[in-house]
Structure 1
Amino acid sequence: MPRTTVRDGLCLLSAYLEELEAVELKKFKLYLGPATETRKGRIPWGRMETAGPLEMAQLLVAHCGAREAWLLALSIFDRINRKDLWERGQREDLARGTPRGDPCSLGSQLACSLEVFPGAPRKDPQETYKDYVRRKFRLMEDRNARLGECVNLSHRYTRLLLVKEHSNPMWAQQKLLDMGQVHARTVDHQASFIQMETLFEPDEERPEPPRTVVLQGAAGMGKSMLAHKVMLDWADGRLFQDRFDYLFYINCREMNQSASERSAQDLISSCWPEPSVPLQELVRVPERLLLIIDGFDELKTSFHDPQGPWCLCWEEKRPTELLLSSLIRKKLLPELSLLITTRPRALEKLHRLLEHPRHVEILGFSEAERKEYFYKYFHNVEQAGHVFNFVRDNEPLFTLCFVPLVCWVVCTCLKQQLEDGGLLRQTSRTTTAVYMLYLLSLMQPKPGSPTLQPPPNQRGLCSLAADGLWNQKILFEEQDLRKHGLDGADVSSFLNMNIFQKDINCEKFYSFIHLSFQEFFAAMYYILDGGESSSSPDQSLMRLLTEYGFSERSFLALTVRFLFGLLNEDTTSYLEKRLCWRVSPHIKVELLDWIQSKAQSEGSTLQRGALEFLSCLYEIQDQHFIQQALSHFQVVVVSNIVTTMEHMVSSFCVKNCRSLLVLHLSGAAYSADKEHGERWTSGPRTLLTHSPERSVLPDAYSQQLATALSTNPNLTELALYRNALGNRGVKLLCQGLRHPNCKLQNLRLKRCLVSSSACQDLTAALMANKNLMRMDLSSNDLGLPGMQLLCEGLRHPKCRLQMVQLRKCQLEAGACQEMASVLSTNRHLLELDLTGNALEDLGLRLLCDGLRHPVCRLQILWLFGMDLNKVTHRRLAALRITKPYLDIGC
């Protein structure tokens, strides 16, 4: 085989292997071992195990030859589910050399030229530059990266939604208002999407390719990362190969620091990796050059309207603002193409400099892309799925995850939380805490910034948000900003600018990135010291709480939830120590007074709006405060609990309620009323269908309920309806039931995914707890094995149960023999419900033997829903005569 083919084959194979993630490369090696066995012996695993992509390509080419190694690699790509590599590889032709669409990546090219053929000629300038671009943009640092920590941009980057038209007011408002998956669908249904690959392609409106593309996006929307990805994809041969020969990246923040005069020649030279710059080669065809200007809005004011003669010559030196402005206005190198990223606030100034640019807005992540981002951040697939479902359960959090920066904040927090003991441990990152971290990220947008950059008038920003909330306003005019002492340029990190058409003119409006972020700032208005004394809005905290009234339907619900969350000790510390925003010391006292008056008006019963109120308490994560707040309630009834997070919120709060007498926690209705553990749906809050074992609630839920049983001797009734405890959950709950402090009398576990193996733990609880008098295990799959274990406890001398409900527990005739033995030994049992079980006539005959026993004191027996013959009915009639105090319903 010619030397060039070997070299090209090695380069090509190495470039493809570099696209594999670590887990995929390991799979590649595992499949490769047996595949090479029939050739010149098997490649030793010891050499493959530690080999990177380049070394792996060298081993394979040396073992099989370039052509055969390439075909073998393609077959393995297909087997490890990298169809994209397999399909792209089918179009490659080793005989023509490394294709332009997939040049060798950094490292593999150097190896090809230096290691395989030391005497190889020097690469052409374009390849030299592409190597440099790959080296510069391949790796990225997270905002919280420590020394040496970096992430492969291609492995982390997730496609953003790009749309090439301006929003209309109706759609813009809908996007701001919608929550959760409804919000995701609204974003997905926006028209005129455009792909990154077609940014410079003509369309129906533009028969000629655009020379300038403006990428607009709010703070944290991923503009810079997209610009970096454009550079990397071009260098890797995936983007603009037939359109541009060279791409140059200009960071506007760095341009601000430049005080000296420079020429266009200097500007391009600063992007070149070597001292010797082939300038004639670079500008030989200027229409094949693309200049990426990242962060136009960050340029100093002098850049927007520079004074002085334009720079018209390639070598002519001018102040940096004049040079850049000359390039943007196309006074210099007019054939040059531009890709400019900016926040919306600078659009008007930019518009004055450009002629017919293509305008593209970055909308962030769709629901599918949010999920993809989570799976890319967490390399463990099961962990990624667990975290994504957890976030999707949290509607406000999932909504704001359309912003890439929020996705990163959420993933970073939850990763640390997993490492510290799990997502749903007793103290978790609340929604408010994540919003606060997002706020801090906006104030320190780039790594290395020495100090935070809070808005000049934070009180004005908070009062604007609150005023808008009371007036149902989410789009603000400039006069609204002025009313609250704000300037659009000063708060561009927090407010997004929208330009809408009205009649024959355009109007400019400002909005928070989402209504939930406006509600977050509105809550801050009420907790900051002196906030209510501001000129506007004229609404007191008590007015806010009265209007809210525990109602999840209130337009103030999320604001009040954030208000509680902002009083969390850690969040307050962020506000006071890092932002110097002082929190009023009187807010907690006012909240407790309001809760007490609410409890008195509701007769010490928390039922209406219970879940919403508990969600507020959960946000504060202050056990002492929660104990004080719930000390005024003796009965808590929480209904229609849908998500795992809502279950956790409920259990976390009630474990801190020491005065509670009665606790009812009811899940939402099962889909199609099925009995086999499918999860339920209710409106926008949807859970997936899993097997019963995978559907159970986390251990922390049952542990917190067990804590309530062991620490609150006043609790006499616990009813869990449609709570997916599972056997593990029942085991943990029974630890609380066996505790000496537990004085529970009534336990209901209806439709809680309890199976036969959990009955052993229930039996132990019956033997230990003399206070328990009523137990409902209806609609659980106990069967005969479960009944045998349960009856062991019912026969125990210490068991004091008076009522047992076993409706629809998959019991058959054999279970009646076990129950008959209980009836003949247990003098305390007064009521038994066996409705909905297939006991048949044989089972009833066995049961009647126990009912006739002199020890039996049963007074009520429920047998509805059974197909019994005449003989059995006569037997039951005779039993009524023998025991007239026994009421039999059938």
Structure 2
Amino acid sequence: PSSPGNQSTCLLEVSLATPKKDPQETYRDYVRRKFRLMEDRNARLGECVNLSHRYTRLLLVKEHSNPMRAQQQLLDTGREHARTVGHQTSPIKIETLFEPDEERPEPPRTVVMQGAAGIGKSMLAHKVMLDWADRKLFQGRFDYLFYINCRELNQSAAERSMRDLISSCWPEPCAPPRELVRVPERLLFIIDGFDELKPSFHDPQGPWCLCWEEKRPTELLLSSLIRKKLLPELSLLITTRPTALEKLHRLLEHPRHVEILGFSEAERKEYFYKYFQDAEQAGHVFNYVRDNEPLFTMCFVPLVCWVVCTCLQQQLEGGGLLRQTSRTTTEVYMLYLLSLMQPKPGTPQLQPPPNQRGLCSLAADGLWNQKILFEEQDLRRHGLHGADVSAFLNMNIFQKDINCERYYSFIHLSFQEFFAAMYYLLDEGERGAGPEQDVHRLLAEYEFSERSFLALTIRFLFGLLNEETRSHLEKSLCWKVSPHIKTRLLQWIQSKAQSAGSTLQQGSLEFFSCLYEIQEEEFIQQALSHFQVIVVSNIASKMEHMVSSFCLKNCRSAQVLHLYGATYSADREDRARCSAGTHTLLVQLPERTVLLDTYSEHLASALCTNPNLIELALYRNALGSRGVKLLCQGLRHPNCKLQNLRLKRCGVSSSACEDLSAALIANKNLTRLDLSGNGIGLPGMTLLCEGLRHPRCRLQMIQLRKCQLESGACQELASVLSTNPHLVELDLTGNALEDLGLRFLCQGLRHPACRLRTLWLFGIDLNKMTHSRLAALRATKPYLDIGC
């Protein structure tokens, strides 16, 4: 037998013969193995998808806004069009997240990546890890990337050090080399899912962790890392839903905010072709979904895109025709749930699990306690036992945690919110061991705030109250839905209207998103009947425009409607005066950026069916020529009682003025028109003046600020002033009329038939002769107020 000395010599020889592998290469290999393959949520046992093959690039933009204004927009599905027009944000690529720019000369140390539920935050974080390991990303910038899953941190009760945290990411049992923290500026930590942290993480109590080997409670360790108390030189990439931005913002100093906007139209198509590997089948499915505009728009959210593809693939595998007609997020999730009840070809019939109510109460309880990982004792408390759990696992509603099989979770947080909404629909006698809060408590906590952690749950609650959806619940799942929920919702909405003085403004877009989910005109009419003034701000996406107009077409009581596009700033626009001699060219909107016909059709319907509506103001709504034509059909309707129409910066072209002219003649109630910020030019002014000169036109005020008008337009306007006895106010601010144009205008102003009392001419470069003409005009018409 060998002596101990001989054994030591042997080991030394082996270690000299086999060079030790570079620890960075060892770690890269481990990251590749961990992140290369992803398991689809509905995958059969052992099936995996290559992340690089499925991953589709997401649209990212730099955000400069206060996080208080960030919105949880599961339906935010076309916003790139509004972004392109508004120039309020700028696109950014993953490769440049930590690069300096014109606003930030120093590279940012913290990047916050925000995005709505299912928008692809975690998959993007996984792809960053994989691309770094494959030497495709951040080479020369970061030596090591570490992935921290906030969901897993919630389960850590023991004290930990930074060394322990890194060790948990390391492939070998031995502690990582001390050299890692010697150059912390070469380290990047990805903290995925900040919004999923327990409340104890948001404001931990105790001394900060200042040393990387010092043990502290996990809450304090993470907070010290985020606040830059611990290793301040390292870099952080934090993903979160917007709902947690305010809490996160309190911990950070000068982070770079990046918003994930999901898939563009081209990327949606790319995703379909990656999911359905057969190109012919992919094209067939993509064209089918694209024809369903609301559904195709919702596919901007990657999770919705996956659900739709999954359901349609199942229909095709079953030999059936494509038959879904989903218009709302709730319908998409319901479609997926019902599809899970259908057996796959060659498998036995799936039976609904015996205790679905327990799953709902578990979801609601977790929602209130902000808990997303559940232990077996949590399941038992809600009456869920082995057979129930197995059934839910087989149906792909529930999953075991990948890193710790003692824990269970829903396949995605949004599915937990879906089942939590179901809990509030059940008859009170059937709810089981769930939370005691009734629907009034739920709504009181929510307050129609898009920042509320309940926002998506409330949208699902409204959507599940749709009669057709409710019928599916009762027939397919044998659930008895409470008949009183709708009444309680309407009572709560009425009380909110009374406390707000019949004005709907704060949270209006979120409120409309809830109403859109229910898709029942009678309910929406009742809900909106308590509001006389409705102001909807920050409408950014095509989907948000569709949601708003769908609700407004069912509004029968409002007297005033104001709809603000997201990129419009009233303060800046109204304060600005054109500097002397300048003229801003207004570029016509390309057709692809123009809003859907449905939007204008719904607004036209509101004009016809709401006898109380007297003021409609659209700011930065990209109507285009087609949209204006449709809107004018409503204006010409005999039931239209509108008096004040504002189409400010709405992409109104010169050709659209023909429809507006016809509306001025047909509508005897319309007295005020604002077309500021539209490039109508001389051709448009010529068409518009035909209506203004007509004897049946009753218009009293017209605003034409920054409308690309030049001297020739003043000839047309002069003829209007000499023939229209009703026009008393004219605003031509910001147009390059020059002295020749003013000379034409003065001819009309001097005419005995002219009744004008107010003329605005700010921002026009005029010579002394023109000023003398205007002074002489004031002397002969002292009641005429001229501002210049």
Partner of 1:159: 53
Q: Per the alignment, in what secondary structure is the counterpart of residue 552 of structure 1? A: coil
**What is residue 740 of structure 2 aligned with on the other side?**
842
**Residue matched to 1:790:** 688
1:705 to 603, 608, 613: 603
Residue 444 of structure 1: CA displacement? 2.3
Match of 1:604 in 2: 502
Candidates 393, 398, 401, aligned match of 1:498: 401
Q: CA deviation at 1:639?
A: 0.6
2:390 to 460, 478, 489: 489
* Paired amino acid for 2:401: N
Deviation at 1:727, TM superposition (A): 0.6
Q: Counterpart of 1:694?
A: 592
Task: Say which of 560, 580, 587 aligns to 2:478.
Answer: 580
Helix, strand or coil for the counterpart of 2:538?
Answer: strand
Of 431, 434, 438, the match for 2:329: 431
Distance 1:184 1:717, change over 3 A: farther
Alignment of 1:740-779 (within 5 A): 740-779=638-677
Match of 1:813 in 2: 711
Does structure 1 retain, via aligned residues, the 8 Å contact 2:679–2:708? yes
Q: Which residue of 2 aligns with 1:26?
A: none
1:394 aligns with one of 286, 298, 302:
298
1:811 aligned counterpart, secondary structure: coil
Check conservation: 2:682, 2:713, Cα contact below 8 A.
Answer: yes
Asked whether the equivalents of residues 312 and 322 of structure 2 are also in contact (C-alpha less than 8 Å), the reply is no
**Partner-residue secondary structure (3-state), 1:489:** helix
Distance 1:779 1:661 in 2: 25
Give TM-score scaled by structure 2 length: 0.62
| Residues 188, 366 of structure 1: 8 Å contact kept | no
Q: Residues 175 and 798 (structure 1 numbering): CA distance in 2 closer, same or farther, change over 3 Å?
A: closer
In the alignment, what sits opposite 1:864? 762
1:669 aligned to which of 558, 563, 567: 567
2:344 — aligned with what?
A: 446
Cα 1:440–1:194 shift into 2, 3 Å: farther
Higher relative CO (Cα under 8 Å, sequence separation at least 6) belongs to: 2
- Secondary structure of 1:861 counterpart: strand
d(CA) in 2 for partners of 1:710 and 1:613? 23
Amino acid at match of 1:724: A
How far is 1:543 from its partner?
0.3
Sequence identity (%): 69
- Tell me if structure 2 keeps the 8 A contact 1:642–1:667: yes
Match of 1:640 in 2: 538
Tell me if structure 1 keeps the 8 A contact 2:725–2:755. yes
Comparing 489-498 and 799-808, the one that deviates more: 489-498
* Structure 2 residue corresponding to 1:185, chosen from 101, 106, 124: 124
User: Could you say which residue in structure 1 is the equivalent of 2:415?
Assistant: 517
Structure 1 residues 386 and 183: CA distance shift in structure 2, 3 A: farther
Write the mapping of 1:86-105 to structure 2, written as runs, cut at 5 A.
none
| C-alpha separation in 2, matches of 1:456 and 1:690 | 60
- Structure 1 residues 419 and 803: CA distance shift in structure 2, 3 A: farther
1:515 CA displacement: 1.2
State the alpha-carbon separation in 2 of the partners of residues 651 and 433 from structure 1: 20
Matches of 1:752 and 1:800 in 2, distance apart? 23
Alignment-mate amino acid for residue 489 of structure 1: S
Output one character per residue of 1:587-623: Cα deviation in whole Å (capped at 9) or x when no partner: 1111111111111111111111001111111111111
The alpha-carbon distance between structure 1 residues 690 and 407, as it changes in their structure 2 partners (threshold 3 A), is farther
The answer to whether the 8 A contact 2:674-2:702 is kept is: yes
Instruction: Report the CA distance between 1:185 and its aligned residue.
Output: 2.7
Which SS does the other structure have where 1:637 is aligned?
Answer: strand
Distance change (3 Å), C-alpha of 1:548 and 1:855: same
Deviation at 1:650, TM superposition (A): 0.7
**Amino acid paired to 1:632:** H
Q: Please state whether the residue corresponding to 1:639 is helix, strand or coil.
A: strand
For residues 869-888 of structure 1, the C-alpha deviation after alignment (integer angstroms, 9 at most, x for no partner) is 22212221221112111111
> CA contact under 8 A between 2:713 and 2:741: conserved in structure 1?
yes
Query: How far has the Cα of 1:410 moved from its partner?
Result: 11
Q: CA distance change for structure 1 residues 617 and 722 in 2, over 3 Å: closer, same or farther?
A: same
Secondary structure of residue in 2 paired with 1:718? strand
Is the contact between residue 756 and residue 782 of structure 1 (CA under 8 Å) also seen in structure 2?
yes
Q: 1:879 to 1:161 in 2, by over 3 A?
A: closer
Instruction: Please report how far the alpha carbon of residue 447 of structure 1 lies from its aligned counterpart in structure 2 after TM superposition.
Output: 3.1
Q: How many angstroms does 1:539 deviate by?
A: 1.5
Q: Quick one: which amino acid aligns to residue 511 of structure 1?
A: S
- Give how far 1:698 is off: 1.2
The 5-angstrom pairing of residues 711-726 of structure 1 reads 711-726=609-624
Query: 1:809, 1:837 within 8 Å by CA — same for their partners in 2?
Result: yes
Aligned residues: 530
Per-residue deviation, residues 22-63 of structure 1 (Å, max 9, x unmatched): xxxxxxxxxxxxxxxxxxxxxxxxxxxxxxxxxxxxxxxxxx
Residue 629 (structure 2) pairs with residue 735 (structure 1): no
Deviation at residue 177 of structure 1 after TM alignment:
8.0
Distance in 1 of aligned mates of 2:435 and 2:401: 24
- Does the CA contact (< 8 Å) of 2:272 and 2:309 recur in 1? no
Tell me by how many angstroms 1:400 deviates. 4.0
Task: Give per-residue Cα distances to partners, 1:308-360, cap 9 Å, x unaligned.
Answer: xxxxxxxxxxxxxxxxxxxxxxxxxxxxxxxxxxxxxxxxxxxxxxxxxxxxx
Q: 1:557 aligns with which of 455, 461, 472?
A: 455
Please give the per-residue CA displacement for 1:682-736, whole angstroms capped at 9, x wherever unaligned.
xxxxxxx995222111111111111111111110001111111111111111111
1:378–1:384 CA contact under 8 A, matched in 2? no
- Structure 2: how far apart are the matches of 1:366 and 1:772? 42
Counterpart amino acid of 1:823?
L
Check whether the contact 1:532–1:538 (CA below 8 A) recurs between aligned residues: no
Q: How does 1:291-440 map to 2 (within 5 A)?
A: 371-375=269-273, 376=279, 379=283, 383=287, 394=298, 397-402=301-306, 406=310, 408=312, 429-440=327-338
Deviation at 1:189, TM superposition (A): 2.6
- Mapped to 2, the partners of 1:732 and 1:513 lie a distance apart of 44
Task: Please name the residue that 1:567 is paired with.
Answer: 465
**1:392 to partner: Cα distance:** 7.6
Superposed displacement of residue 508, structure 1: 2.7
Structure 2 unaligned residues grouped into runs of 5+ = 1-41, 44-50, 57-112, 135-261, 274-278, 574-586
- Aligned counterparts of 1:556 and 1:802: Cα–Cα separation in 2: 48
Letter in 2 for 1:731: K
Tell me the equivalent position of 1:873: 771
Cα offset for 1:401? 3.2
Bigger Rg, which one:
1
Q: What is the distance in 2 between the residues matched to 1:587 and 1:417? A: 36
Q: Post-superposition shift, 1:429?
A: 1.7
Separation (CA, whole Å) in 1 of partners of 2:588 and 2:397: 40
Alignment match, 1:474? 372
- The 3 A distance-change label for structure 1 pair 636 and 850 is same
**How far does residue 864 in structure 1 lie from its aligned partner after superposition?**
1.1
Report the more deviating stretch, 533-542 or 573-582: 533-542
Structure 1 unaligned runs (5+)?
Answer: 1-141, 144-156, 163-173, 196-364, 501-505, 676-688
C-alpha deviations, 1:487-506, integer Å up to 9, x for none?
Answer: 43232121121143xxxxx5
Please report the TM-score for the alignment, with normalisation by the length of structure 1.
Answer: 0.55
C-alpha separation in 1, matches of 2:736 and 2:55 = 56
Task: Please give the alpha-carbon distance, in whole angstroms, between the structure 2 residues aligned to 1:462 and 1:870.
Answer: 78
- CA change 1:738–1:411 in 2 (3 A) is farther
